[in-house]
Chain A
């Protein structure tokens, strides 16, 4: 173990050094707090500091506080040497960041025992850090997997799709997708599993699979043995069927909000249904206004037997739909104020002359400058589609 001894009395420092070296430790020396900090900075392997209390320039307690306040990325175990044996001094030292005490004159058997206690703690911390590192690597792998299953921006039939997706930590509970169901019908959705992290992400992965046309289930398409062999389920039917399939347990409320729609790519007719999701926004290119497609709906998984509503709208060429998760509107600035729907709508209202890509990065920039950070509290996702026949 690499140990730093901080002691202004040269003879005492030397005795300690000799004793600790004999026990196999690598020993560094400093004669006051300032020198100690320089030695620590140039030797990041030092994990234990044994420091005298009373020293000129910077005393032991001040040194301890300086170490605790510094940005060293590892823990330094701090033992104070003291002639003061009164309780108050011990309490003060521990309150100000010291880990242990040894009274002077030093009893070497005691010193050895206390050092071993410190080494145990440092080893536990190292083991813990290694485990955390392993978990973080796993999470990064999972995040890469998640990024791979997201649909690529694409033009399918007459409809352009693009999106922004940023999980709050490594993994998100948000998901979205779009696909052709036949030669003129496309489905699209955006969902938000409550909470974030691993359970929500795993759930969103499996939902992503179920909502694929080639998925094993028939949540979105019903098949028959006779022509035309299939029927595309209406959005409200899809939500009802998901709701019956995925009832959350009271002990672990893994439920989700969702907006699901189908668009006829030749006529521009859209049917959309929602389950407690923020209402999609309709950007009307001729009128240059933003309209909310609101209709409530209980989030999926909360309660069996729920029904959902279909809303039908007729797009005009160049119209866009903007589907988003509540992470967009609920992100807060430094003062704790939320971004909010009003701000989002007026922002989108100023993007009619922008390409979809430009609009997506505009929204991102506004959110980043609102929060003043590029790491968000909640997952942030939005999906944009444009009908351009």
Chain B
């Protein structure tokens, strides 16, 4: 499983141990995020620092999780690399997510 999660300061931090978040793993990733939410995590931080490329299916998985939470709780994206940030800018993801440089800052920020 290329995903891991740990709890820290009231957040569930999900990290992706892959350089590409694309169609080959996005469905797995979505299911993993849904499991976290079903298990009661409602303050999620997704650590994207290893991801060099994300496609529309990866983006879809993140938004699916946000939709599933339905406004209850928070989903922050941390550590996005330049190509992933470009995708977030193109698709105005800052309107949907809190996008933060690193996991540490995501946790500090209340």
Name A residues whose Cβ lies closer than 8 Å to a Cβ of B. 192, 194-195, 248-251, 253, 255, 257, 276-279, 296-299, 302-303, 306, 326, 330, 378
Give A20 to B50 CA distance when docked, in angstroms.
Answer: 60
Q: Is B81 an interface residue (CB 8 A)?
A: no
Give A328 to B93 CA distance when docked, in angstroms.
Answer: 22
Residues of A within 8 Å of B23, CB to CB, are 195
Residues of B within 8 Å of A306, CB to CB, are 95
A276 contacts B57, CB within 8 Å? no
| B99 CB, nearest partner CB in chain A, Å | 13
Q: Is B98 an interface residue (CB 8 A)?
A: no
A298 contacts B55, CB within 8 Å? no
Q: Is B44 an interface residue (CB 8 A)?
A: no
Q: Is B63 an interface residue (CB 8 A)?
A: yes
- With A194-B57, A302-B96, A303-B96 already in contact, the answer to whether A296 and B64 are too (CB < 8 A) is no
A330 contacts B89, CB within 8 Å? no
Give A296 to B95 CA distance when docked, in angstroms.
Answer: 10
| B57 CB, nearest partner CB in chain A, Å | 6
Residues of A within 8 Å of B34, CB to CB, are 250
A194 contacts B60, CB within 8 Å? yes
Residues of A within 8 Å of B92, CB to CB, are 276, 296-298
A278 contacts B90, CB within 8 Å? yes
- With A253-B61, A303-B63 already in contact, the answer to whether A298 and B93 are too (CB < 8 A) is yes
Residues of B within 8 Å of A255, CB to CB, are 56, 60, 63
B91 contacts A250, CB within 8 Å? no
A302 contacts B63, CB within 8 Å? yes
Name B residues whose Cβ lies closer than 8 Å to a Cβ of A. 23, 30, 34, 55-57, 59-61, 63-68, 89-93, 95-96
Give A250 to B60 CA distance when docked, in angstroms.
Answer: 9
Closest to B66 in A: A303
Give A251 to B30 CA distance when docked, in angstroms.
Answer: 8
Closest to A330 in B: B55
Give A279 to B59 CA distance when docked, in angstroms.
Answer: 18
B64 contacts A253, CB within 8 Å? yes
A-B contact count (CB 8 A): 64
Closest to A294 in B: B90
Give A250 to B62 CA distance when docked, in angstroms.
Answer: 10
Which of A250, A276, A326, A378 is B68 in contact with, Cβ under 8 Å?
A250
Give A248 to B23 CA distance when docked, in angstroms.
Answer: 17
Give A278 to B96 CA distance when docked, in angstroms.
Answer: 19
A276 contacts B95, CB within 8 Å? no
Give A378 to B93 CA distance when docked, in angstroms.
Answer: 22
Closest to A252 in B: B64
- With A251-B64, A296-B91 already in contact, the answer to whether A257 and B56 are too (CB < 8 A) is yes
| A255 CB, nearest partner CB in chain B, Å | 6
| B27 CB, nearest partner CB in chain A, Å | 10
B67 contacts A276, CB within 8 Å? no
Closest to A256 in B: B56
Known: A194-B56, A276-B91. 4 other contacts (CB 8 A): A192-B56, A255-B56, A255-B63, A378-B55
B63 contacts A253, CB within 8 Å? yes
- With A253-B63, A302-B63 already in contact, the answer to whether A195 and B56 are too (CB < 8 A) is yes
Give A257 to B66 CA distance when docked, in angstroms.
Answer: 18
Closest to A276 in B: B91
- With A195-B23, A253-B64 already in contact, the answer to whether A299 and B57 are too (CB < 8 A) is no
Closest to B30 in A: A253
> Can you report 13 A-B residue pairs in the complex whose CB atoms are below 8 A from each other?
A194-B56, A195-B60, A248-B60, A253-B64, A255-B63, A257-B91, A278-B90, A296-B90, A296-B92, A298-B91, A303-B63, A303-B95, A303-B96
Which of B60, B89, B91, B93 is A253 in contact with, Cβ under 8 Å?
B60
Residues of A within 8 Å of B59, CB to CB, are 194, 299
Interface centre among B61, B91, B93 (most CB of A within 10 A): B91
Residues of A within 8 Å of B30, CB to CB, are 253
Residues of B within 8 Å of A299, CB to CB, are 56, 59, 91
| B95 CB, nearest partner CB in chain A, Å | 6
B91 contacts A303, CB within 8 Å? no
Give A303 to B89 CA distance when docked, in angstroms.
Answer: 16
Give A234 to B61 CA distance when docked, in angstroms.
Answer: 31
- With A276-B90, A296-B90, A298-B91 already in contact, the answer to whether A195 and B57 are too (CB < 8 A) is yes
Which of B61, B64, B65, B96 is A298 in contact with, Cβ under 8 Å?
B96
| A83 CB, nearest partner CB in chain B, Å | 45
| A45 CB, nearest partner CB in chain B, Å | 38
| A335 CB, nearest partner CB in chain B, Å | 14
B67 contacts A250, CB within 8 Å? yes
